[in-house]
A and B are shown apart, each in its own frame.
Chain A
């Protein structure tokens, strides 16, 4: 952290709109505030709400880049506001809610509802063989490298940045997005999940699934967790083509 004060005057241009309020229209509102050392957009927005405008809506929970609540458009690009440091940006910062998701108000969107819908549709849980679990017994061993590989894909925080950056998601309301395809890749890799490619094909073998992806791959570029989305989508598509043509 730099010890010399910058004391820039920041101008945050936030999109304001409350769909629940009759007659409200979308507009840009500008807030001026003095930059502080180590300031993040979490700190800046909290200060605006505390001192200037208590009605401004946005979502933060962990403020540490791990919960995925604070995805928003930062200068036109989806990102996590909590870990965006203002000193990396110009003094004029534009903020808007993530597109695609239902707007709650201002910078707050209902990504939780979208993610639950995706999870229900893709059944994002381990489908184990039906048998009673004896919790007293030593666990099933698992290859350490495979466990690490599953964890790598399990790192998704469902922030919605990939969906907000996705061309297909703008055109197809039911497209499952990179987040959904990555989940399928994660469970496909997991030996505890007994589903086969035929089962996965039923879930993502169409235009709302892996064949809807146009390979623009902005998802890969904006993912705050640097998930290997490009490789996973390509790999999954190959497997699903095989399943669809030969399966």
Chain B
């Protein structure tokens, strides 16, 4: 049995995993990254639009602070987020952008003087301040009060991961590429690493570590129509779920991005709308102001996606041979802007649609985009139920997005969480009491169990086809667990997914070798993906309310009285066909921003009984500290003690000097 030892085992080579590993390594611990693909090819790369951080350099961002970013994020989450975590995040985001700037990300910079922008369909001239010249620029994005999204032209995620991956190389952090974790090694209370399969040779080995971090991104590929890369299959989620101990939080919260190109589902960035792009129907009518007079195209993603589908249902979609879609019109932004700031969009339209967005409208329809749910951790990033297990980024639920994530908050989260959880992991490894006595018998048992499972596929005589099961699952999820959900559809989906799960236990292979074998990979992944699909569908079926991206046509109101709580899904037994659900209430009495109307979407919700009382208390504290926003915040909801010491402290701005 081959065993690799390391202090910190990071599963996933995207931005969160890379930054976490760098943090741990710089604190003196050996970190090793496992990645399905070369790190720079991770899905972090696809973040085109930008990273939210309240720098307030541009004139339209003037007055922006952590407070405004906090409120936007909590409203965006439809009050599902952990507000302490959101505070930790918004205070660290400016530090993250500045660190990346020092490391080499070519952030787009502010140019002083006049410039023309498109706002609300109109050309407007704005004037940037002299003192902002050369500082990091921000653009407009959905669901934000201020221009807050920092960007590197049209390739923010690309430049971020290039820079961070190269830093990891500079720090001599090994990335074992083209390997896949098959299971976490644990004894029910503590995690010791993972069983890992080499995708090229098929070799199975054990990686034993003091700390193991799941940073594997999203699970979009359980759906048919998704913007996610083909590797985003939720396997990291499944690793945690299959321990039977570690829980997944809020898996029913799935975001659909308004502008996947139709029908391929490839994302065109929110920056299109942020920069002034409009959504139009079959008649060329701009319909979003009819539904959302205040935020229009720039309401949060869940709201815009639903309005688009609603408008299509009214017969206002453009009919094509692949189905109906909406138009995204960016022609008014002009050739120069599109060729510099939205070039990736031009490329995608050109190569995948044969459309020139300078002259023609882009066919779009909402597609699965983001997994808000994930491996449940505390605010420091550690699993509360499995010691030594950590998680960061899209794979995690610490929980800063609640039921809907804002555009620009995901790449921001990856790096911020990597910074914070990297310190947590280093603290954990620093403590001698956490050095594991490696139970070699247990390690062997886990390796042998995975080998037996692989052999069952190649020699077990199964007859089911892995690809066919996967396809059926994806179609079911898109058709029944999508943007508009009903009890009837969800129950049907849960029932059929369970049957697929049972069938998946009898998969046989047409090409039954244990080495490099794409069919074998599909086979073992689809079993895990079905468990993830079931946590999504079953969680959605049980949650009889609408919140953020989870929208029930039969329960259209947000119901704080009964549902202001986080879903926790665990998978108790190997032969189970359903997750076990439990709920963790959110404490209104400790919220800095008590539940209310988001400022867009339906105004209709049922209050939690504690909300009016908390609202009153909050107002009193606000009045008492009206002159000092920091004192006010500290009195409302202290959070700074939760941050690693090196990441505490105020952020300097042009208008807020230290």
Contacts and interface: CB of A to CB of B under 8 A. Distances in A.
Asked whether A and B interact, the reply is: yes
Interface of A: 1-3, 18, 20-21, 37-38, 40, 49-51, 53-57, 59-69, 83, 85, 104-105, 110-113, 115-116, 119-120, 123-126, 128, 133, 135-144, 147-148, 150-151, 154-155, 157-158, 187, 190, 192-193
A151 B134 contact: no
Contacts of B97: 139
B39 to A, nearest CB: 8
B166 interface: yes
B41 A65 contact: no
Interface centre among B98, B99, B175 (most CB of A within 10 A): B98
Given A128-B102, A137-B98, 4 more contacts: A3-B321, A38-B352, A67-B229, A155-B155
Contacts of B111: 144
A225 to B, nearest CB: 9
B610 interface: no
B130 to A, nearest CB: 11
A148 B509 CA distance: 51
**Nearest 3 Cβ contacts at the A-B interface:** A112-B38, A141-B134, A54-B519
B307 interface: no
B347 interface: yes
Given A40-B352, A143-B109, A137 B652 contact: yes
Interface in B58-113: 94-95, 97-99, 101-104, 106-111
B99 A135 contact: yes
B270 to A, nearest CB: 16
Contacts of A144: 108-111, 133-134, 137
Contacts of B175: 116
Contacts of B230: 60-63
Contacts of B158: 66, 154-155, 157
Given A54-B510, A193-B104, A62 B43 contact: yes
Interface string B112-153: 000000000000000000000111110000000000000011
A60 B46 CA distance: 14
Contact of B37 (A18, A54, A69, A140): A69
B46 A66 contact: yes
B509 A147 contact: no
B624 interface: no
B470 to A, nearest CB: 9
Given A67-B229, A116-B175, A141-B109, A135 B45 contact: no
Contacts of A55: 511, 517-519
A120 B162 CA distance: 14
21 contacts: A20-B515, A38-B352, A54-B509, A54-B519, A55-B517, A57-B518, A61-B229, A63-B266, A85-B352, A104-B516, A125-B166, A125-B170, A135-B94, A135-B647, A136-B651, A136-B652, A137-B652, A138-B654, A141-B135, A150-B106, A157-B40
Given A125-B166, A154-B159, A154-B162, A65 B106 contact: no
Contacts of A116: 38, 169, 175
A138 B95 CA distance: 9
Nearest to B134: A141
B623 to A, nearest CB: 29
B341 to A, nearest CB: 10
Contact of B155 (A133, A142, A151): A151
Contacts of B322: 37
Given A65-B351, A133-B99, A154-B159, A147 B106 contact: yes
A246 B30 CA distance: 43
Contacts of A115: 38, 40
B228 to A, nearest CB: 9
Interface string B517-559: 1110010000000000000000000000000000000000000
A108 B8 CA distance: 30
B135 A139 contact: yes
A56 B200 contact: no
Contacts of B110: 144
B364 to A, nearest CB: 13
Contacts of B456: none
Given A135-B99, A136-B649, A151-B159, A59 B37 contact: yes
A59 B199 CA distance: 12
B263 interface: yes
B109 A62 contact: no
Given A125-B166, A136-B649, A138-B654, A63 B229 contact: yes
Interface string B168-195: 0110000101100000000000000000
B155 A126 contact: no
Interface string B305-326: 0000000000000001110000
Nearest to A143: B134
Contact of A148 (B108, B267, B354, B519): B108
Given A123-B170, A140-B101, A66 B109 contact: no
B582 interface: no
Contacts of A126: 102-104, 163
A63 B471 CA distance: 18
Nearest to B471: A50
A177 B509 CA distance: 41
B133 A136 contact: no
A54 B355 CA distance: 33
Contacts of B99: 133, 135
Nearest to A49: B518
Contacts of B266: 63-64
A187 B94 CA distance: 24
A124 B104 CA distance: 10
B502 interface: no
B108 A147 contact: yes
Contact of A21 (B159, B163, B321, B515): B515
B496 interface: no
Contacts of A20: 200-201, 515-516
Nearest to A115: B38
A162 B153 CA distance: 24
A38 B263 contact: yes
A104 B200 contact: yes
Interface string B252-267: 0000000000011011
Contact of A125 (B104, B159, B347): B104
A159 to B, nearest CB: 9
Given A61-B231, A151-B159, A54 B511 contact: yes
B519 A147 contact: no
Contact of B351 (A85, A133, A190): A85
Contacts of B42: 61, 67
A2 B649 CA distance: 57
Contact of B166 (A38, A119, A137): A119
A142 B111 CA distance: 10
A158 B177 CA distance: 15
Nearest to B104: A126
Interface centre among A120, A139, A150 (most CB of B within 10 A): A139
Contacts of B651: 136
Nearest to A87: B354
A136 B102 CA distance: 13
B3 interface: no
B633 interface: no
A140 B100 CA distance: 12
A67 B41 contact: yes
